[in-house]
Structure 1
C-alpha cells in the first residue's frame, strides 16, 4: 500500500468495517460523557496511560525477573520517577521503563505535532529506546545495512528504499488527521500496522506503533479525553488476535486488511470499556 490516503475511504466499504467503525465511535462517545469525566479527566487519563503502558509492555513479552508485570509495577515506576531505570540490573525492567516513557510522552503530543509526523515518530522512539540503543540509532529510521530482528514471523523487514516510501505514506496519513481529511480509526489502524510491517527502527517498533495509535485516537477526536486504553484492546486476549491480525495485514490482500481493521475496531470498543472501568473507579474513589 504505497498510496494510503486516497484508499482510506474505500476501506470502510470492506464487509463489516463500517459497522465496526460505527460501534467503536459509539463506545467512545459513551465513555466521553461518563459522569466522572466532567471534572476529573486528567486523573482518569493518567490511569489510562498506566494501564496502557502495562498492556503494551506485556505485548512486548516484558515481565521483570521474579515477578509478574502489573499496573502496580508500572504505577510505581511512574510515581517514583523514571530517572535511572534504564540502568537497572533487570534488562526487562529497562524495556518496561521505556514503554512507560513512550506512553507517557503521548500526553504531550497534539495536533500541531502531527503536522511534523517524522518528529512525532522520532520522539516516541527516543522515549521508548533511550538507554537501550546507541545514541546514533535513537529516533531515526534504519540506515542501509541496519537490520531489525523484531516481528520476524512477518518476514524480513523491508529494505531502505521501500522503508522510505512507506514511511512517507504514513507521514501523509498522520498529517491528514489534523485537517480532518481522513477517518480517525482507520488512520490509527493503518498507521499502527504500517509501523509494525515496515519496522523503521532497529528496535522498539511495536512500542512506537501502539503509542502512535493512542495519539491518533485522541488528536483525531475519537477519544478526545485520552481515557480509552487501546493497548488493552489489543492485549486483553493474550495478544493472539493482535499478532494474528497484524500477520494477516502484512500478508496482503483485501481479506488480510479487512481482518486487521475489524480487529482494530473491536480493540477500540474494548479500549473504551477499559476506559469506562477507569472512570467508574475514579467516580468511586477506588483507583489503585
Structure 2
C-alpha cells in the first residue's frame, strides 16, 4: 500500500493535482518540442537553476547568468546541479542518499568547507526514512512523491549551505525519474519563486505536521507545477520566434 495515498484525500488536493497534471500534459504538446526540444530543455534547465538560486537569496538577472557574467558561488552551484541532473536520474530511485550527497557536493562547492560537502549536518533518521520512501517506489503518484521529497528536505535542511538547491533538485529528479516530466521541461522553480511568500509559508505550515499544514504545501506545489508548465509555453514561443 502507498503510505502517502491518504494525503490525496485532504480537501482540494486531488483536484489541484489533477489540474496540474492537465497543464503539464498540454504543455508537453507545444509545437516547439517537435524540432527544438533540446533548446527548450536547455532554457528550462537554466531558468530552473536561476530561480533555485534566487530562492536561496542569490538573485540575478536571467540574461546575466546566461551570458556567463555571474560568478556567485550559489548560482554556479545551481547551474552545476542543473547540468548534472540527467546523469542522476537512474541513481535517484536506486540510491537516494548517494544522489543527495552528490547534489550537495555540486551545489555547495565554494560555499561551505570541503569537509562538509556531501555530509549530513542533521536529520539522519528522517533522511533514511525519506530514502526508504523514494527507493524503488513505483506506487506513489510522481507529483505527490516529489512534493513530499521537496518538503522534507526544505524543512529539514540536512546539509550546510544552499540546502534548498538540493531539495528542489531532488524533487525535479523525482518528477523526471518517475516519468511525470521525463525531459525535465517543467520549470517548477519559477512557480515557487513567483509565489515565494506562499512557498515559504506553506513549507513552514508543512513543518508543523498538521493535516492543514500538509494540505497547504500540497496545494502550493500543484500551483507551482501548473506555473512551471506554463513556462514551457513561454520558452517554446520564444524559441519559435527566434528561428
Q: Name the TM tier (shorter chain).
A: over 0.9
Aligned residue pairs, count: 243
- After the TM superposition, which residues 121-200 of structure 1 pair with which residues of structure 2 at under 5 Å, given as runs? 121-142=100-121, 160=122, 163-177=123-137, 180-200=138-158
8 Å Cα contact 1:141/1:200 also seen in 2: yes
Instruction: Measure how far apart 1:197 and its partner are.
Output: 1.7
8 Å Cα contact 1:41/1:227 also seen in 2: no
More deviation, 16-25/221-230: 221-230
Partner of 2:83: 104
8 Å Cα contact 1:248/1:260 also seen in 2: yes
Q: Aligned partners of 1:175, 1:24: CA distance in 2, in Å?
A: 25
RMSD: 1.8
Q: Aligned partners of 2:180, 2:207: CA distance in 1, in Å?
A: 25
Q: Give deviations 1:118-143, integer Å, cap 9, x for gaps.
A: 1110111011111222221101211x
Partner of 1:74: 65
Q: Aligned partners of 1:107, 1:76: CA distance in 2, in Å?
A: 23
Structure whose CA Rg is larger: 1
Runs of at least 4 residues of structure 1 off by over 3 A? none
How does the TM-score come out when normalised to structure 2? 0.94
Match of 1:247 among 176, 190, 204: 204
Instruction: Measure how far apart 1:280 and its partner are.
Output: 1.6
Q: Give deviations 1:244-275, integer Å, cap 9, x for gaps.
A: 01010002210000000000011100000011
8 Å Cα contact 2:101/2:118 also seen in 1: yes
Which ranges in structure 1 are unaligned for 5 or more consecutive residues?
A: 64-68, 86-92, 143-159
How does the TM-score come out when normalised to structure 1? 0.80
Q: Give deviations 1:139-185, integer Å, cap 9, x for gaps.
A: 1211xxxxxxxxxxxxxxxxx5xx122101211232244xx221101
Q: Give deviations 1:201-256, integer Å, cap 9, x for gaps.
A: 1222111011111111122122122111010010013x111000101000221000
8 Å Cα contact 2:56/2:162 also seen in 1: no
Instruction: Measure how far apart 1:6 and its partner are.
Output: 4.0
Which ranges in structure 2 are unaligned for 5 or more consecutive residues?
A: none
Partner of 1:44: 40
